[in-house]
């Protein structure tokens, strides 16, 4: 498939689709937790991209561009568990290619084709400081390791979503017992 760069968007900014979606889900509800999901299609609709010819692509190693290395993933869905001032999230990503060496990375990213590359499903966790009660989210602490600590209830939620995703992929994911 060929992809052509259209515009840069921010998913987690104050005016982005994720804080907006979560705030709407939590509005008027007396709950400590809002578990939620956004599909790629829902996110694109937020940005008024409804023609069906768009994709949400993440450049996961922009700092490698000067070295001619490009890693791009397509965002297929995001699940979140908003509570107590923070939101751990699970991103379902489709690998278009990873660490691909190109002559001119900036030019390559404007129009690229991923035929013949991995196309595998990848999951990533990250968290933001903010929840369904406030729309002004900030990134979690960054450092050498930016880990999301998940307690049993939130971990089970994400585990179920990962298991469901792999099942939809036609893969068996039953060797790990929760």
Range of the structural domain that residue 51 is part of = 2-147
Q: Who wins on pLDDT, 38 or 169?
A: 38
Number of domains in the chain: 1
Q: Helix, strand, coil: what percent of the chain each, to 5?
A: 25, 35, 40
Residue 23 lies in a domain: yes
Residue 53 lies in a domain: yes
Q: Give one DSSP letter per residue of 20-35, joined into a string.
A: HHHHHHHTT---SEEE
Distance (Å, whole) CA 28 – CA 44: 26
Residue 172 lies in a domain: no
pTM above 0.85, yes or no: no
Residue 167 lies in a domain: no
Confidence at 151, pLDDT banded by 50, 70, 90: low
Residue 165 lies in a domain: no
Residue 158 lies in a domain: no
Q: Within 10 Å of residue 158's Cβ, how many Cβ atoms?
A: 20
pLDDT tens digits for range 95-116: 898 888 999 999 999 998 888 7
pLDDT tens digits for range 1-46: 888 998 888 888 877 888 888 888 888 878 889 999 999 999 999 8
pLDDT tens digits for range 52-78: 788 999 888 888 888 999 989 999 999
> Does residue 83 contact residue 131 with C-beta atoms inside 8 Å?
yes
Distance (Å, whole) CA 174 – CA 53: 35
How many helical (H) and strand (E) elements, i.e. helices and strands, does the chain have? 4, 8
Residue 137 lies in a domain: yes
pLDDT at 142: 62
Residue 163 lies in a domain: no
């Amino acid at each position: 498939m060929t992809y052509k760069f259209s515009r840069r968007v921010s998913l987690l900014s104050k005016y982005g689709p994720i804080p907006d979606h979560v705030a709407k889900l939590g509005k008027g509800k007396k709950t400590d937790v809002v578990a939620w999901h956004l599909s790629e299609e829902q996110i694109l609709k937020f940005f008024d991209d409804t023609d069906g010819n768009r994709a949400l692509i993440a450049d996961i190693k922009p700092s490698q561009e000067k070295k001619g290395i490009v890693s791009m993933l397509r965002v297929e869905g995001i699940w979140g568990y908003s509570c107590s001032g923070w939101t751990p999230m699970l991103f379902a990503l489709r690998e278009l290619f990873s660490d691909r060496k190109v002559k001119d990375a900036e030019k390559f990213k404007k129009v690229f084709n991923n035929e013949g590359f991995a196309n595998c499903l990848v999951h990533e966790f990250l968290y933001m400081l903010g929840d369904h009660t406030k729309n002004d989210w900030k990134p979690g602490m960054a450092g050498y390791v930016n880990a999301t600590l998940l307690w049993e209830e939130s971990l089970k939620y994400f585990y179920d979503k990962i298991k469901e995703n792999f099942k939809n992929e036609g893969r068996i994911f039953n060797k790990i017992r929760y």
